[in-house]
Amino acid sequence: MTAPVAIVTGGSSGIGELTAHQLNERGFTVYAAARRTDRMKGLERSGIRTRALDLTVDRSMQDLVEGVVAEQGRVDLLINNAGFGAFGAVETVAMADAKAQFEVNVFGLARMTQLVLPHMRAARRGRVINVSSIAGYVAEPYGGWYHASKHAVEGLSDCLRMEMKPFGVDIILVEPGPVRTEWNAIAANSLVASSKGTPYAKQAKATRRALKAMNSSILAVPASRVAEVIVTAALNEKPSARYPVGRRAAAIMIAGKYLPTKAVDAVTGLLYHAR
C-alpha cells in the first residue's frame, strides 16, 4: 500500500510545523499548508510538500484539496490546525475582527472538512482531526470571541462524528491546555491593543500578564507534545473522540464540568483580574 496522505493546515510554525515533521517521519506523504509559505523552507528540505492556503478564500481551499487528490488520488488525513486568537472585551473587539476569527477558526475548518469528506466517504475510510482547545469547555475574561469559536468547533465536531460514523470516517478533537508557543504573546498584545482607552484597560493588562506567564508555567506543555498527541490520534486503530493534552487540560475540563459555575468564575477571576 502506498503511503497515507495527510494535509496539515497552519503548517508554517508551532504545532502545525511539528506535526508535519512527525507525520513525515512516520511515513505519511504530508502536505503542509499555510499563508506564510516563506516560513516553510525547512519543511521542504525534509521532503514535505508545502502549499499556500488562505482559509478565508474558498478558491484557495478548493485548489489545495483538488491538487492533492490530483497528485495522490486521495486524502487519508486532514488536520485542521490553523487558527488564531484575537483577545479583548466582547464590547470593544471590532465585529470585523470577531468575524475574521470565526472565518478562520470555524468556517475555514468546516470548509476544508467539506472538501475532503467526499473522497473519504468514497474510500470508506479517513480521519479528520480538529485542533480545538480547553477554551471550548471553559471561559476566561477577554477571550469571548476566541472561546466562542472553540465552543463552535467542539459542537461541530460532535455532530460530524455521528454523521460520518456510517461511512468509516473518524472525527477527532485534540484539546490542548496551556501550550508554550508564540500564540500567548500574540493574544496578549491583541488584548491590550483592543482595550486601550476603554474601561477595560487596567484589567486587560492584568490578563496580559497571565497570558504571557503561560509560556513559563510548569503546567504548560511544549508544542511538540501537542504534535505527538495529534500523531497518536492519527495512528490509533481505534481512536478516542477526544484527546485532552496536558494535566492542566484534564483538570480544567473536569472542574468546568462538575464545579458550580460561580466557583469556577471566582477561581478564574483570581488568575486574571487585577486586584
CATH of the domain at 164: 3.40.50.720
The pTM of the full predicted model, rounded to 2 decimals, is 0.90
Instruction: Give pLDDT tens digits for 141-150.
Output: 888 999 999 9
At residue 49's C-alpha, the angle toward residues 15 and 167, to 5°, is: 75
* CA dist list (Å): 72 to 48, 49, 66, 195: 14, 12, 10, 48
Residue 159 confidence (pLDDT): 98
Is 238 labeled as catalytic in the residue annotation? no
Mean pLDDT for 28-44 is 95
Grade residue 184 by pLDDT with cuts at 50, 70 and 90: low
pLDDT digits (tens, 9 = 90+) for 139-175: 888 889 999 999 999 999 999 999 999 999 999 999 9
Give the three cell numbers for residue 10.
497552519
Give me the pLDDT at residue 134, please.
87
Catalytic residue among 150, 157, 195, 200: 150
Residue 190 is among the residues annotated as catalytic for this protein = no
Count CB-CB contacts under 10 A for residue 63.
Answer: 14
Supply the pLDDT for residue 120. Answer: 98
Number of domains the chain contains: 1
What domain range is 134 assigned to?
5-272
For 30, phi then psi, to 5°, come to -110, 130
Q: Count Cβ atoms within 10 A of the Cβ of residue 224 and give its class: 0-12 exposed, 13-18 middle, 19 or more buried.
A: middle
Buried b / exposed e along 190-209 (16+ C-beta atoms within 10 A): bbbebbeeeebeebbebbbe
Residue 216 annotated as catalytic: no
Contact between residue 126 and residue 119 where contact means Cβ atoms under 8 Å apart: yes
Please pick, among 137, 146, 200, 272, the residue that the annotation labels catalytic.
146
User: Is the four-CA dihedral 53, 50, 125, 19 of positive or negative sign?
Assistant: negative
Q: Are 85 and 143 in contact (CB under 8 A)?
A: yes
**Catalytically annotated residue among 31, 132, 157, 243:** 132
Q: Per-residue confidence at 194, pLDDT binned at 50, 70, 90?
A: confident
132 assigned to active site: yes
CA distance 24 to 6: 9
- pLDDT at res. 19: 98
Q: Of the listed 12, 149, 157, 194, which one is catalytic?
A: 12
